Amino acid sequence: MIAYLTRRVLLLLLTLLLTSALIFALTQLLPGDVARLILGREASPERIAQFNAEFGLDQPALVQYLRWVTGFVTGDWGRSFSAGNAPVRPLVLERFGNSLLLAGVTLLFSVPLGVGLGVLTALNKDTWLDNVVSVATLSVVGLPEFVTGIVLINVFALGLGWFETTSLIRPDMTLNDWWRILVLPALTASLVLVGYIARLTRAGVLEELGKPYVRTARLKGLPPAQVLTRHVLRNALLPTITVIAISVGWLIGGIVVIENVYNYAGIGSELVRAVEQKNLPVLQAISTLIVGVFALANLAADVLYAWLNPRIRLG
């Protein structure tokens, strides 16, 4: 297991290095003059030259990359081109913390519910319960997030008044305030994930229930609950684990639509703003952080996968 972990960590570090170079190269290919965009069309050539020298944009691309990646590793993520040249790291980490909190609440909703529905429908295959849950989950997965968000806002925020209409974060917020602003965006994202997790879990459980080892366990007199929890789920949830790991990365950086619907100050909306403003330090930092989250989530999935299936780590 240690050898397997070592290989996976080394591959993770190599992946992060290669993706950092790719991110830097792509940001350099963005159209337009950064200095002209930030300073305005009326800026003098002297002011533009001063801006480029201040942020090192007049250096060769390789020098800029080495300085950026070295600073990122050591904690110096540069200064924002906008927002008064503020340090990038506090801004990005604050938004990352908000997105991490939303992702955690979303997974808290979606994973138990999705796995539970998947197991329930598999054990009641071809019954009315199976049909109702299957149609409901398929319908929810097909709905765009902004449609689901608008419906939830109109029903539970504007109609019933249970939650806030927007998710503006304030310094003086209490636990109850956090709950009122997090539930609706987390529920919006959860409805998408629940459908995928439930359908994948159902397929995995049905496949495992038909295998010889399950019949053998039943013939030995093992209780049905023990057969399900100790044998069937251990193998049936392997594909689901991968989906959950991928979902973590999507929740951190891919729910831009949900963040905009609820006006939530997450890292996804900040990434869009950085692209619009061509704020390269913020754009590079957020992109690298999202890639790191994806990589760590996949590493965690691989480790859990190997623990559940010894053939993976011994292969």
What pLDDT, in 10s, does the model give residues 238-248?
778 878 877 88
What pLDDT is stored for residue 247 in this prediction? Answer: 81
Contacts 24+ apart (CB under 8 A), 90-95: 91/270, 91/282, 92/267, 92/270, 92/282, 92/285, 92/286, 92/289, 94/265, 95/265, 95/266, 95/267, 95/269, 95/270, 95/286
What pLDDT is stored for residue 38 in this prediction? Answer: 67
How far CA 268 is from CA of 87, 92, 248, 272, 280, in Å, comes to 19, 10, 13, 7, 15
In terms of phi and psi (left: phi > 0; alpha: psi -120 to 50; beta: otherwise), the region of 32 is left
Give me the helices (H) in the chain, please.
2-28, 34-39, 45-54, 61-74, 88-123, 128-142, 145-152, 175-209, 212-219, 224-227, 233-236, 238-253, 256-261, 267-277, 280-308, 310-314
What pLDDT is stored for residue 284 in this prediction? Answer: 86
What pLDDT is stored for residue 170 in this prediction? Answer: 67
What pLDDT is stored for residue 167 in this prediction? Answer: 67
Show me where the domains of the chain are located.
2-83, 89-314
Angle formed at CA 118 by CA 115 and CA 179, multiple of 5 degrees: 40
* pLDDT lower than 70: segments of the chain: 1, 30-40, 43, 83-84, 166-168, 170-172, 253-254, 308-315
What pLDDT is stored for residue 84 in this prediction? Answer: 64
What pLDDT is stored for residue 298 in this prediction? Answer: 79
In terms of phi and psi (left: phi > 0; alpha: psi -120 to 50; beta: otherwise), the region of 232 is alpha
What CATH number is given for 89-314 in this structure? 1.10.3720.10
State the maximum Cα–Cα separation within the chain, in Å, rounded to a whole number.
Answer: 85
Which two structure tokens, joined as six digits, stand for 44? 């003098």
